Amino acid sequence: MHTRRSLLSTVCRTATFVFAVAGAGSLLQAQQIPSVQPVFNAPLATLATASAKDYFSSSSSSSSSSSSTDATDATDRLAFNALNSFQPPPRRRYGRPRYSDSHTNPDGSNKFAFVAGIGAGMPIGNTHKYETPSWGFQAGVGRNFSQSVGVMLQFDYDHFGLQGSTIENQNILYGTQGAGLDGNNHVWSFTLDPTFSLVGQGSLGAYAVVGAGFYHKVTNFTLPSTGQYCDYFGFCYQYQANQVVDHYTSNAAGVNGGVGLTYKFSKFSNQRFYIEARYVVIFNKQRVGLTAFNVNSPFGQSYTGTNFYPANSNRTSYIPIKVGIRF
- Return phi, psi of residue 55, to 5°: -65, -45
Beta-strand pair 272-282/236-264? antiparallel
Average pLDDT per consecutive 10 residues, the chain (327 residues; last block may be shorter): 53 56 49 44 46 48 52 62 60 58 74 95 96 97 91 97 96 92 97 90 89 98 89 83 94 97 82 95 95 93 94 97 94
98 closest CA partner among 146, 142, 151, 148: 146
Rounded CA gap, 298 and 302, in Å? 6
Q: CA of 224: how far to CAs of 179, 221, 251, 311, in Å? A: 8, 10, 28, 23
CB neighbour class for 255 (10 Å; exposed up to 12, middle 13-18, buried from 19): middle
pLDDT of residue 146: 87
pLDDT of residue 75: 63
* Domain ranges, ordered by start, for the chain: 2-85, 112-326
Has this prediction a pTM greater than 0.75?
A: no
The answer to whether 217 touches 228, Cβ cutoff 8 Å, is: no
| Interval 220-237: pLDDT, tens | 999 998 888 888 888 888
CATH number of the domain located at residue range(s) 112-326 in this protein: 2.40.160.20
Q: DSSP per residue over 116-151, as a string?
A: EEEEEEEE-GGGGGTEE-EEEEEEEEEEESSSSEEE
pLDDT of residue 83: 55
Rounded CA gap, 105 and 110, in Å? 6
The answer to whether 217 touches 258, Cβ cutoff 8 Å, is: no
pLDDT of residue 59: 47
pLDDT of residue 227: 81
Note the helical H segments in 86-220.
Answer: 164-174
